[in-house]
Amino acid sequence: MATKRVALVTGATGGLGTHMCKKLYDDGFLVCGNYRSREKAEKWNEEMMAQGYNVYLYPADVSDFDQVGDMIRAIEKDHGIISILINNAGITRDGAFRKMSREAWDAVLDSNLGSVFNCSRHVINQMIEQNYGRIINISSVNAQRGQFGQTNYSAAKAGMHGFTKTLAMEVASKGITVNTISPGYIATDMVMAVAEPVRNQIISGIPVGRLGGTEEIAYLVSFLASEHAGFITGANYAINGGQHVY
Ligand code: CAA
């Protein structure tokens, strides 16, 4: 069993997840990464190994409660109790609300918010037993400010922080912290998929004048995951280049 603290990053193979895995690894955690697409994960793993990063990969659709349960049990069997959970997996299905299908609503709510329930629920009692834990929920600036075409995404991401605040209260006396990070527009595939004119218009509204870097999110993740952050709980950190100040 691991002597290092075990961290699980959901959606590990995405833009934000990749840098989180690297930073947590550099900072001495045993890092497990969750993925959904095997093909992408295999290529990702090869690239990470070539760069010296040994991340243990586990498949699961995080919107599926039972699949998540199987994944968590497998990680516990291989490495021990998960001390750090980063709820990072997420999808977009953008479109004006008047045209949005129920399917696009459900998919985004299930993947972005249902997943937070599924993963947190499957780790929380072991964290309580060991009297230590860190849960970090990756939300979005668009939860705080709204964004044309994202009623589903904004609702799910705003729900995450409501979850954070209440769970933080419930487990504060058990050595467990629960926090939210709300990234702005970061240079990931998800953001690059936004049509260029729309994206350029968005960037023009970011006072720092550029998209954020994935490593700029990973640094805060690793700090909140550390033992130094034990007095920070129920908080929501904006990292958005000044796009939304409140
Ligand atoms: N602001 C104001 N009006 C807009 C608009 C905007 N951003 N986008 C479209 N409209 C208008 C259109 O001009 C059109 O008006 P009319 O009916 O009068 O002609 C109407 O809204 C409908 O437009 P569309 O038919 O084009 O709408 P759509 O449903 O096809 O989709 C959209 C529009 C593609 C979603 C577009 O609004 C868009 O790209 N929005 C940005 C989405 C975005 O930022 N996504 C972020 C993804 S990354 C991410 O989410 C990470 C993170 O956390 C930050």
Question: Taking CB atoms and a 6 Å cutoff, what residues make up the pocket around ligand 1?
Answer: 92, 94-96, 99, 140-142, 147-150, 153, 185, 190-191, 194-195, 198
For residue 19, the enclosing domain spans: 6-186+213-238
Confidence at residue 88, expressed as pLDDT on a 0 to 100 scale: 98
Note if 153 is an active site residue: yes
Domain of 107, CATH number, reads 3.40.50.720
pLDDT tens string 206-233? 999 999 999 999 999 999 999 999 999 9
Q: Is residue 194 part of a domain?
A: no
Q: Which of 153, 185, 237, 246 is catalytic?
A: 153
Q: Does residue 158 form part of some domain?
A: yes
Q: Answer whether residue 91 is part of any domain.
A: yes
Residue 19 lies in a domain: yes
How many domains would you assign to the chain? 1
Query: Is residue 203 in a domain?
Result: no
Task: Output the residue whose Cα is nearest ligand 1's atom 47.
Answer: 191
Is residue 55 in some structural domain? yes
DSSP letter string, the chain: --SSPEEEETTTTSHHHHHHHHHHHHTT-EEEEEES-HHHHHHHHHHHHHTT---EEEE--TT-HHHHHHHHHHHHHHH--EEEEEE---------GGG--HHHHHHHHIIIIIHHHHHHHHHHHHHHHHT-EEEEEE--HHHHH--TT-HHHHHHHHHHHHHHHHHHHHHGGGTEEEEEEEE-SBSSHHHHTS-HHHHHHHHHT-TT-SPBPHHHHHHHHHHHHSGGGTT--S-EEEESTTSS--
Give the ligand 1 atom nearest the CA of 153. Answer: 50
Give pLDDT tens digits for 84-106: 999 999 999 999 999 999 999 99
